[in-house]
Amino acid sequence: MALVDKATFPRDKACGDLVGPRGLALLAQLGLTPPPDGREVGEMVVLGPTGRRVVLPARAGLTYPGHGVAITRRRFDAWLRDEALAAGAEPVVAHVADLAGPSSVVLDDGTRLDADVVVGADGARSALARRAGLIDPHTVLWGFAYRGYAAQHVERPVIALWDETPRRGFPGYGWIFPGEDGTANIGLGLGLGPAGARRASARAVERFTSFCSHLRDHGLLASSVEERRLGGWLKMGMVGTIAARDRLLLVGDAAGLVNPLQGEGIAPAMTSAAAAASAILADPSTAARRYHAHLRSSAGRFATATAPIHIAASSTPRRVAVVGRVLTAPGLGALVAAPWALLWNDLADGAPPGASRTIVRAALALSRTLSQRSAVAQRLADQFADP
Ligand SMILES: Cc1cc2nc3c(=O)[nH]c(=O)nc-3n(C[C@H](O)[C@H](O)[C@H](O)COP(=O)(O)OP(=O)(O)OC[C@H]3O[C@@H](n4cnc5c(N)ncnc54)[C@H](O)[C@@H]3O)c2cc1C
């Protein structure tokens, strides 16, 4: 099996560097222990737009641990690649330039690689997805996020909901997550809605300085953010992407698997890759159909409920400002924190039975019902017709 990547590892990647509980559960299932440099991350503090704070709990589920791990992508991705090589993958450092038939690719030096199946894991701007005609650029839900590091110890990670201007909520959120060796990873990400790439992706970059001032005003940032900053695209909720056809299976960001509510993409990338691998091992000739069916009942189901929420939030700043206030209101904030943590981290499946899980399942069902006639719901339904 050839593992082709244009980058040489270790390489940097724009990220909050937080591997969520489902990602850790998968690694454990595969018998893999991430490098010890990471830091366990459990509950988080949410800073509301008015400065009120709520603690989002982190509870173990039946199928995942009660924490994630903060670890730089330089370290994590290089380690994961090494594990793949140790398991028998053959490294190829090259830019994939094109597809040459259902299961062949051409590298930029003209070399052609033929395989039983091609797995497109080439990120949010996947050239393979584009070349295979699996993307509808007009309906994709884009997000964009930007991050930098600061010399600051982070005791508890922070999620910041922020009014960009008075009573106009920023259509996303900012964060302060633990970095390595007493550093903090500070970022700001936003949803752009359908065809958002045409709008200014630069907004997260432009607003970064104001956002950092906001953190300083609330005593959450004491040092300056280093100039080595990186931004990147998020392709969310699978909208506008057919994830598999014939002998090409898209995984991770290439398939648009980023969580439309909070931008998590590492765990979805790893779990989709594992599902693609199982489908291929069962039978390469029918892998696309099996993989597609798996996504329809997992990430696709979550997306039908949450992609409409993403669209509503990215287009209505006043509503975002109200929701931010409600979620962090005195009394109410503490009450909704547990279901909120399950909902927006996509942790309801596999959560222990209880009030939070029931509330989240009801909220997801309600969102599906209310949005079933929307363009995005129709689009997802069409996509999940058999490949
Ligand atoms: C600022 C920011 C913060 C984020 N924070 C988090 C977070 O804290 N937690 C989280 O879970 N998710 C986060 N995400 C999302 C997460 O980074 C992605 O969802 C995740 O990296 C997806 O993994 P992937 O393997 O699908 O794609 P990528 O990580 O983008 O990897 C794609 C790989 O393909 C290679 N490649 C691309 N094109 C070609 C080509 N033509 N030929 C050969 N190789 C190619 C690239 O070199 C790269 O190594 C964040 C994203 C951003 C932008």
Which ligand 1 atom is nearest residue 96's CA?
A: 42
Q: Which two tokens stand for residue 291?
A: 């993989």
| Distance from the alpha carbon of residue 13 to the mean position of ligand 1, in angstroms | 7
Phi, psi (5° rounding) for residue 186? -115, 130
Task: For the full predicted model, state whether its pTM sits above 0.95.
Answer: yes
Q: What integer pLDDT is reported at residue 333 of this predicted model? A: 87
DSSP 225: B
User: Are the CB atoms for 70 and 17 separated by under 8 Å?
Assistant: yes
| Distance from the alpha carbon of residue 242 to the mean position of ligand 1, in angstroms | 19
The C-alpha atoms of residue 387 and residue 384 are separated, in whole angstroms, by 8
Q: Is residue 46 within a helix (H) or strand (E), and if so which, with residue range?
A: strand 44-47
The β-bridge relationship of strands 118-120 and 248-250 is: parallel
List the chain domain ranges: 42-58+111-387
CATH of 42-58+111-387, one of 3.40.50.970, 3.40.718.10, 1.20.1260.10, 3.50.50.60: 3.50.50.60
DSSP 8: P
Beta carbon of 256 within 6 Å of any ligand 1 atom: no
Beta carbon of 237 within 6 Å of any ligand 1 atom: no
All residue ranges of the chain with pLDDT < 70 are 195-201, 386-387
Query: Whose Cα sits closest to atom 37 in ligand 1?
Result: 122
The β-bridge relationship of strands 18-19 and 68-70 is: antiparallel
The C-alpha atoms of residue 177 and residue 251 are separated, in whole angstroms, by 26
The C-alpha atoms of residue 94 and residue 92 are separated, in whole angstroms, by 6
| Distance from the alpha carbon of residue 333 to the mean position of ligand 1, in angstroms | 33
Handedness of CA 318, 323, 328, 330 (dihedral sign): positive
| Distance from the alpha carbon of residue 25 to the mean position of ligand 1, in angstroms | 20
Q: What integer pLDDT is reported at residue 201 of this predicted model? A: 61
Residue 78: CB atoms within 10 Å: 17
Q: What integer pLDDT is reported at residue 198 of this predicted model? A: 55
Q: What integer pLDDT is reported at residue 162 of this predicted model? A: 94
The C-alpha atoms of residue 382 and residue 215 are separated, in whole angstroms, by 43
From the list 42, 9, 15, 71, the residue with the least C-alpha distance to 258 is 15
The predicted-structure confidence for 298-326, as pLDDT tens digits, reads as follows 999 999 999 999 898 888 889 999 999 99
Alpha-carbon distances, residue 220 vs 35, 55, 154, 164 (angstroms): 28, 15, 9, 17
User: Are the CB atoms for 327 and 161 separated by under 8 Å?
Assistant: yes
Q: What integer pLDDT is reported at residue 281 of this predicted model? A: 97
**Total H helices, total E strands in the chain:** 12, 20
CA neighbours within 13 Å on the CB side: how many for 37? 16
Beta carbon of 379 within 6 Å of any ligand 1 atom: no
Query: Whose Cα sits closest to atom 39 in ligand 1?
Result: 122
